[in-house]
Amino acid sequence: MGDSGGSVVSVDVERISFGGKEHHIQTNYGPVSVAVYGDHDKPALVTYPDIALNHMSCFQGLLFCPEAASLLLHNFCIYHISPPGHELGAAPISPNAPIPSVDDLADQVADVLDFFGLGSVMCFGVTAGAYILTLFASKYRERVLGLILVSPLCKGPTWTEWLYSKVMSNLLYYYGMCGLVKECLLQRYFSKEVRGFSELPESDIVQACKSLLDQRQSMNVWRFVQTMNERYDLTEQLKQLQCRTLIFVGENSQFHTEAVHMTSKLDRRYCALVEVQACGSLVTEEQPHAMLIPMEYFMGYGLYRPSQLDCSPRSPLSPFCISPELLSPESMGVKLKPIKTRVRLEM
């Protein structure tokens, strides 16, 4: 590996983690961990998770779905970027280290691409990670072929969210990853049905998520919460984006309204919004099977049909405009509800 873009320095860690090779990269904006899965000669898919998550807790459900794993790993080399200090086995970040801004994290993504010698990439982000990758796409438009966003953020925090995040920050700072913080995060990620209640036990994915949250360094999570609480509105930048964008949001997500707003500001020739019924924000874990067919249409070619590709395998986003099937739930054969009509009503 080498630096193709200036002063980026890297330490390459030879560690195999769940089938992927993990790299610790020293960027111009601090160190970051990237887990790489697949053949480096294939097109790049860059992922970024939500607060307190990494690729194992945010994308594992999707990649453990055999059809989705086949689609993604057959056609892409996946570069999972963890927020600073969120990787498996991360050490506490020094309290003297400056807290990065959202612009720093977006520029850090560019440094990661430079380190691996990547040009244009597909981006796949969840909630806070969707914001970072959308900001990256607005700053480096020539480097983004397409965006897959799950329950994305695109505006600055409301007063309610800002206050909620401040309370969670204080709990993290003084009490660590305590039960109340975990409950706040689980409400952010999952629908009530999955989290469980008095008459229904919590699901296996929630139990697994709790276990993974216990492994997070609370002060590292605190730093990312602080960063995202200072984010700014990207609405004006959205109007300049012309890469293809596929947005998933659970109908029970806290960020449902923001996903609708985001779609209304993007060029409708290149954007599709899919609402997943009976689902929270973390669609990749709660209902990963619902993402398969829309992603296949979005990418422009069929699963298990590599011999039928009419484009180069290094150009998975041809044709450029959104497939019309994404606007027709009947043609997708799954219980999804694209909310094109709801956007019109709200506009």
Task: Give the pLDDT score at 46.
Answer: 98
Q: How many CA atoms lie within 13 A of 167 on its CB side?
A: 11
Q: Where are the domains of the chain?
A: 21-156+233-301
Determine the 3-state secondary structure of 34 from DSSP.
strand
Query: In the structure, how many helices (H) and strands (E) does the chain have?
Result: 16, 10
What is the C-alpha to C-alpha distance for residues 338 and 311, in angstroms, rounded to an integer? 28
In terms of Cβ atoms closer than 10 Å to its own Cβ (0-12, 13-18, 19+), residue 41 is exposed
What is the C-alpha to C-alpha distance for residues 219 and 169, in angstroms, rounded to an integer? 9
Note the pLDDT tens digit of each residue in 149-158: 999 999 999 9
What is the C-alpha to C-alpha distance for residues 24 and 6, in angstroms, rounded to an integer? 18
* Mean pLDDT in residue range 309-337: 44
* Mean pLDDT in residue range 134-159: 96
What is the C-alpha to C-alpha distance for residues 101 and 263, in angstroms, rounded to an integer? 25
Of the two residues 233 and 331, the one the predictor is more confident about is 233
Instruction: Of 204, 174, 209, 190, give the one whose Cα is nearest residue 52.
Output: 209
Note the pLDDT tens digit of each residue in 254-286: 999 999 999 999 988 888 999 999 999 999 999
Q: In whole angstroms, what separates CA 222 from the centre of its chain?
A: 19
Note the pLDDT tens digit of each residue in 169-219: 999 999 999 999 999 999 999 999 899 776 778 888 999 999 999 999 999
pTM of the model: 0.85
**114-58-21 Cα angle (round to 5):** 45
Q: What are phi and psi of 30, to 5 degrees?
A: 105, 170
Is residue 231 within 8 A of residue 156, CB to CB? The reply is yes
Is residue 267 within 8 A of residue 242, CB to CB? The reply is yes
What is the C-alpha to C-alpha distance for residues 336 and 298, in angstroms, rounded to an integer? 15
- 3-state helix, strand, coil split of the chain in percent (to 5) is 45, 20, 35
Is residue 230 within 8 A of residue 102, CB to CB? The reply is yes
Task: Give the pLDDT score at 2.
Answer: 41
Note the pLDDT tens digit of each residue in 311-322: 333 334 444 455
Task: Give the pLDDT score at 308.
Answer: 37
What is the C-alpha to C-alpha distance for residues 30 and 292, in angstroms, rounded to an integer? 35
* Superfamily classification of domain 21-156+233-301: Alpha/Beta hydrolase fold, catalytic domain (3.40.50.1820)
Statement: residue 3 has pLDDT above 60: no
**211-44-56 Cα angle (round to 5):** 5
For residue 251, give every residue at least 6 positions away whose Cβ sits within 8 Å of its Cβ, in sequence order, or none.
275, 276, 277, 278, 279, 337
Of the two residues 308 and 7, the one the predictor is more confident about is 7
